[in-house]
Structure 1
Amino acid sequence: MLNKQLCHYYVAGFILPYIAVYLASQLFKKDLIMKKVLLLALSIMLFISKANAQFDGYTWKVITTTGDFLKREEADFVNVNGKFYLIGGRKIQEVSIFDPKTSIWTTGAKPPMELHHFQAAVYKDEIYLICAMTAGYPHEKPVDNIYIYTPKTDTWRVGATIPQDRRRGSAGVALYKDKFYVTSGILDGHYTGNVTWVDVYDPKTDKWTKLADAPTARDHAHAAIIGDKLYSIGGVQSNAKENKGLQGVVAQVDVYDLKTNKWSVADAKLPNPRAGNGSVVVDNEILVIAGESAKQRVAHNEVDAYNVKTGQFRTLPPLVQGRHAVGAIYHDKKIYTVAGVGNAGGSPLLSTIEIFSKD
């Protein structure tokens, strides 16, 4: 069945466009303008076909590993020199370290305090946790400092102090030209205080700079950078104060031009709005992986890919199990995601790692 579907896709996506353009070109042999239009149309179709062909034949599966990781939520999962670090989460948890070559888990040092609700970023082979939170639901508290983990020495240190008027948690963080861009977040856990703030932090000078506010407030969302633009996709406007829970999931895609310090809003919207998702960048696509929403009790298993060139989403095969409060890694043409929660809310904690591959 799968081979037949792939065959139909190949015919529809690759062969028919060629035939259509060829036949049309014969009708307009003497019309140079129309010929140019047709060539442009063919180029666009070829680009879209190539983009849609990525991940053909890929599926998600749960893999067997040696050793265990500590089950956790509101953590992140990042790659440093080919080893994967499951870091942070509620409670003070050791770092769980995964070697994808051997499928073996080992254990690293505990952080100096509870750190959760952050998007980790890697800079000079160290893992930076910026605008994390601590304490329990619904009044999780933004931490005062950046926290940094060094895999080489398996040690933690306290980094720069975050300006008091810019402290928040559950923000998006992405690295661009050796500077950290911090987007949106929330002031008071899940309770209230969604913000549109955007800052850039320079680790060389310890300087924070305020940038143009984002069009949309959101928390529990990741930031992603492709080229000279930053993208905010997914997330929620948490509001336990008014008992709204996950009702305020965000479908809008916000785009920040890193050169001009200006925001715009994409035409496309996230097809399945949700928060607490993982994300990875693969070429010109941002993959939004899993998440949670008020739409369903079970965590989402959907994977939506946003192509920054075409400005469109497409749907990829779903995870084996829905999960949220997760991170994801793209490595060696495979995607990994691990841990998190199986239902909306805080339970059950999951003990599996999934891989998206052709194997």
Structure 2
Amino acid sequence: MSKFTLLGCMLAAFLLLSACVKQNIQSSQASWQNIQTIGTPHPRHEATFIELNGKFYALGGRRIQPVSIYDPANNSWTEGAKPPFQIHHFQAAVYNNKIVIAGAMTGGYPNETAVANIMFYDPKLDEWQQGPEIPADRRRGGAGVVIKNHTLYLLAGIQNGHVNGWVNWADSYNFKTNKWQKLADAPRARDHFQAAEADNKIYLAGGRTTSQITKQVFSLTIAEVDVFDLTTHSWSTLKQKLPTPRAGNATFNLNGHIAVLGGETDRPTPAHAEVEVYNPQTKTWYKLPNLNQGRHGTGVVYYNDALWTCCGSGARGGKPELLTTEKLVIED
């Protein structure tokens, strides 16, 4: 084989390898759009925003208030049932056509208590349901939640509202066997964050260690991203820290990348608008356009090649609660 043929083969192999590496996701518009919807959601923060069967659900948050349901097919908001009690500071997930809530808080600031059970909202019945009990010695709020196959993973969180008691615990609940299992502790404790799964790994991004006792409720943010391998049940930490450390953020899988949106820190206003994304293949962070309105204490829906968010708080703490709905069209 001549050296020119060898060089050609090497070049072809390099191009093939490069094509297999997933590139960063780009925005196909300059900025987020504020969507003028028919009706508005109920104002809420420390809540969730999640998609199920083509509709988006804003539920939970401070105070007892009905579910807000957005239908992208007709651009309208409608109202669902109220929860049986105040339920907030949680990351929702979907299982068996129900919205699942675990690792939540109830009660008022700063001495909120952990909700004792997994809770379900059934959109088909428009009904809240009480699920299995969380072991008393493992209850906490402000935790990360991921459901993979038939297993719920409950990660980190805080035991005593905004006072103290943050933990690095990891637990799983199998919906088929109805059994809880203690897993290896995460490398560090954190609360007020969300988790996301990609390629059989769970990423814990953002959050803080909340301490009302030392008056450091917002400032002790965590830049490190801890990763739980679902195959080996072992932990690691990314070398690449979250570029903008913040808590109260939304974290989600964006076509195999890990996206972190919004959040709050010690600065009073505004809430964070950054959207930062980690590419596991290139091991680098990149940015998508900032939100029009920074917000924390809400979620993100990825649906039909667009990101959607609504509600949340526009500044540190609970006010102002936002009514805007934003959308960003993206592409691979």
Match of 2:105 among 123, 133, 152: 133
Corresponding residue number in structure 2 for 1:86: 58
Whether 2:132 is the aligned partner of 1:142: answer no
Corresponding residue number in structure 2 for 1:281: 253
Whether 2:310 is the aligned partner of 1:334: answer no
Tell me if the contact between 1:291 and 1:322 (Cα under 8 Å) persists in the aligned partners: yes
What's the CA shift for 1:204? 2.3
Corresponding residue number in structure 2 for 1:253: 225
CA distance in 2, matches of 1:322, 1:221: 16
Corresponding residue number in structure 2 for 1:24: none
Corresponding residue number in structure 2 for 1:353: 325
Tell me if the contact between 2:24 and 2:279 (Cα under 8 Å) persists in the aligned partners: no
Match of 2:140 among 159, 162, 168: 168
- 1:131-280 to 2 correspondences below 5 Å: 131-280=103-252
Percent of aligned positions that are identical: 45
TM-score normalised by L of structure 2: 0.94
What's the CA shift for 1:87? 0.8
Letter in 1 for 2:287: T
Corresponding residue number in structure 1 for 2:95: 123
1:173-197 Cα deviation digits (max 9, x unpaired)? 0011111011000000111011000
Moved more, 197-206 or 114-123: 197-206
Larger Rg: 1
CA distance in 1, matches of 2:75, 2:243: 34
- Note closer, same or farther for the CA distance 1:320–1:297 as it changes in structure 2 (3 Å cut): same
Match of 2:76 among 100, 104, 112: 104
Corresponding residue number in structure 1 for 2:290: 318
1:109-167 Cα deviation digits (max 9, x unpaired)? 00111100010111011011111100111111101111111000101111111100100
Tell me if the contact between 1:235 and 1:274 (Cα under 8 Å) persists in the aligned partners: yes
Greater relative contact order structure (CA < 8 Å, 6+ sep): 2
* Superposition CA RMSD, Å: 2.0
Match of 2:35 among 58, 63, 66: 63
Tell me if the contact between 1:59 and 1:358 (Cα under 8 Å) persists in the aligned partners: no
- Note closer, same or farther for the CA distance 1:47–1:34 as it changes in structure 2 (3 Å cut): same
CA distance in 2, matches of 1:261, 1:61: 40
Greater share of helix residues, 1 or 2?
1
Letter in 2 for 1:297: T
Tell me if the contact between 2:276 and 2:285 (Cα under 8 Å) persists in the aligned partners: yes
Tell me if the contact between 1:172 and 1:184 (Cα under 8 Å) persists in the aligned partners: yes
Tell me if the contact between 1:175 and 1:181 (Cα under 8 Å) persists in the aligned partners: yes
- Note closer, same or farther for the CA distance 1:166–1:284 as it changes in structure 2 (3 Å cut): same
1:49-101 Cα deviation digits (max 9, x unpaired)? x5225334352011001112100000001111000110100111100000011
- Note closer, same or farther for the CA distance 1:92–1:63 as it changes in structure 2 (3 Å cut): same
- Note closer, same or farther for the CA distance 1:75–1:252 as it changes in structure 2 (3 Å cut): same
Gaps of 5+ in 2: none
Greater share of strand residues, 1 or 2?
2
Tell me if the contact between 1:284 and 1:309 (Cα under 8 Å) persists in the aligned partners: no
- SS of 2:239's equivalent? strand
- Note closer, same or farther for the CA distance 1:96–1:34 as it changes in structure 2 (3 Å cut): same
What's the CA shift for 1:42? 4.4
What's the CA shift for 1:29? 4.2
What's the CA shift for 1:279? 2.4
Corresponding residue number in structure 2 for 1:292: 264
TM-score normalised by L of structure 1: 0.87
- Note closer, same or farther for the CA distance 1:305–1:354 as it changes in structure 2 (3 Å cut): same
- SS of 1:165's equivalent? helix
Moved over 2 A (4+): 28-36, 38-48, 52-59
Letter in 1 for 2:296: H
Letter in 2 for 1:262: S
- SS of 1:247's equivalent? coil
CA distance in 2, matches of 1:245, 1:358: 35
CA distance in 1, matches of 2:206, 2:8: 41
What's the CA shift for 1:106? 0.4
- SS of 1:184's equivalent? strand
Letter in 2 for 1:84: F
Tell me if the contact between 1:29 and 1:35 (Cα under 8 Å) persists in the aligned partners: no
